Amino acid sequence: MKKSVLVFLSLILFSCGATKQQMVISNEEKQILESTEEQEVAISDEESEYEIIIIEPGFYTWLNSIAKPEGYYSQSFLENRNQIYVINWNQRVMNPSVYNPNLYELQINYDPNIDYGYDVNYKLYNYFIFFQRKYNQRLGPFVPRI
């Protein structure tokens, strides 16, 4: 009798912990994610001479209307998340037979020992959130939410 109760209890605990969180996307965000309008977003820092140019339909509008405003996150939060996202991104770039090579084309060289500044980290983080929401991807253990 004790064995069946323990098995039953462990099944209940496992099933409760196994629920998957879903992304909630508003109609406004959905329209932006489906947009074909391309507008360049430059990510740069003069001190580190680091620059990324993102030309992704809808990202510019999403960054300026949906993303949390600059200053919402601390730089250390952004750096920690970006480090996780970059590692997962680069692993996917290196495995084109497993991950869509049309989504993961180029590696990102992000050194956690370099201070890229707030602006670079803010825009890079938001690009990762935008990308995950637009293409229904997960680059880390957390749900990409706004």
Q: pLDDT-derived band of residue 86, with 50, 70 and 90 as boundaries? A: very high
- Give residue-wise pLDDT tens across range 129-142: 999 999 999 999 98
Checking if the pLDDT of 26 tops 90, the result is: no
Q: pLDDT-derived band of residue 20, with 50, 70 and 90 as boundaries? A: low
Q: What is the mean pLDDT of the segment spanning 71-98?
A: 97
Instruction: Return mean pLDDT, the chain.
Output: 84
Written as one letter, the residue type at 103 is L
**Dihedral pair phi/psi, residue 133, rounded to 5°:** -70, -40
CB 2 within 8 A of CB 124: no
Task: Identify the pLDDT of residue 17.
Answer: 45
Percent of the chain past pLDDT 70, that is, above it, reads 84
Model-level pTM?
0.80
**CA dihedral angle for residue 57, residue 61, residue 67, residue 73, rounded to 10 degrees:** 90
CB 120 within 8 A of CB 50: yes
**Dihedral pair phi/psi, residue 38, rounded to 5°:** -100, 130
Written as one letter, the residue type at 104 is Y
- Give residue-wise pLDDT tens across range 41-76: 887 777 767 777 888 899 999 999 999 999 999 999
CB 44 within 8 A of CB 100: no
